[in-house]
Amino acid sequence: MHVTKEFKKKTFLKQFLLGLHVSNSISNPISIQQRKNSIKLSADLAMAFARGRTHWTHALITKLGQKEENKSTLKGILGRRYEILMARYSCPLLYQKVQRRKKSVRSYRFSYNAQKRRSSALKGSCVRVSPSVVARNLENRRTKVLKRLVPGGELLNGSALLSEALDYVISLKAQVDMMKSLWRATQVSSSSNVELVPSAPLQKKDASCTIANSEE
């Protein structure tokens, strides 16, 4: 939203391919799960880098950096900047805040149950909850789920959460599109077998497909 998508795609691609190279070189003998994880890591990192500085990118990079299994890949991708970035993005404060919030959620649920109990005690067996309460409850549940989905969402509220979710959805869409096009490129290069003619840009993919075919 704040940054043009054209710019983002370039940066994303560059960073993603960087990460792919690194994950190729590092984790070649290891299982496909780990390769998938490192690819996903580099994709998320690329998306966060391409987007710029927003709340969710900050939280995403923090989360990525705190997992133990990611650290080697991150070191490979970021190189010398790893220490700088990890120092900046290690924020224990984030998770302390989350702990505090959990208590209030529990208390809310308790109060809601108390209200239900009260209403059922008054009116007999059937539980009558006013529609506004139902609507509010639904909305709160959805908001909680959204907070869990959006990186860094637990700390946000209301309109800020929605704007971060908006931004995140846009970036996710762009990420998926880029990965799809990359995937299609690999498909094309691995399946086609066209003769090389050096003048058109279309033929450049044939260069890569000869590479692929030569090793088969």
Looking only at residues 65 through 84 of this chain, which bind another protein when binding is defined by CB under 8 A? Answer: 76-77, 79-81, 84
Q: Is 62 in the site for another protein (CB under 8 A)?
A: no
Q: Is 169 in the site for another protein (CB under 8 A)?
A: yes
Cα gap 113→140, rounded to integer Å: 14
Q: Is 91 in the site for another protein (CB under 8 A)?
A: no
DSSP 3-state of 200: coil
Joined together, the tokens standing for residue 162 give: 């929605």
Stretch that binds another protein, among 17-25, 66-74, 110-118, 123-131 (CB under 8 A): 17-25
User: Cα torsion at 153, 158, 164, 165 (round to 10°)?
Assistant: 80
Q: Is 119 in the site for another protein (CB under 8 A)?
A: no
Q: Cβ neighbours of residue 39 under 8 Å, at least 6 residues apart?
A: 19, 20, 23
Q: How far is the CB of 198 from another protein (least distance, A)?
A: 4
Compute the radius of gyration of the chain from its Cα atoms: 24
Q: How far is the CB of 162 from another protein (least distance, A)?
A: 4
Q: Is 172 in the site for another protein (CB under 8 A)?
A: yes
Residue of 14, 67, 117, 128 interacting with another protein (CB under 8 A): 14
Instruction: Quickly count: other Cβ atoms within 10 Å of residue 100's Cβ.
Output: 8
Cα gap 47→40, rounded to integer Å: 10
Joined together, the tokens standing for residue 57 give: 């990118």
Residue of 86, 91, 133, 162 interacting with another protein (CB under 8 A): 162
Nearer to another protein, 117 or 184 (CB): 184
Q: Is 168 in the site for another protein (CB under 8 A)?
A: yes
Residue of 105, 129, 149, 194 interacting with another protein (CB under 8 A): 149
Nearer to another protein, 87 or 122 (CB): 87
Q: Is 127 in the site for another protein (CB under 8 A)?
A: no
Residue 53 region, left (φ>0) first, then alpha (ψ -120 to 50), else beta? Answer: beta
The secondary structure of the chain in percent helix, strand, coil, rounded to multiples of 5, reads 80, 0, 20
* Binding residues for another protein restricted to 173-212, rule: CB under 8 A: 173, 175-176, 179-183, 185-187, 189-190, 196, 198-199, 201-212
Cα gap 29→20, rounded to integer Å: 15
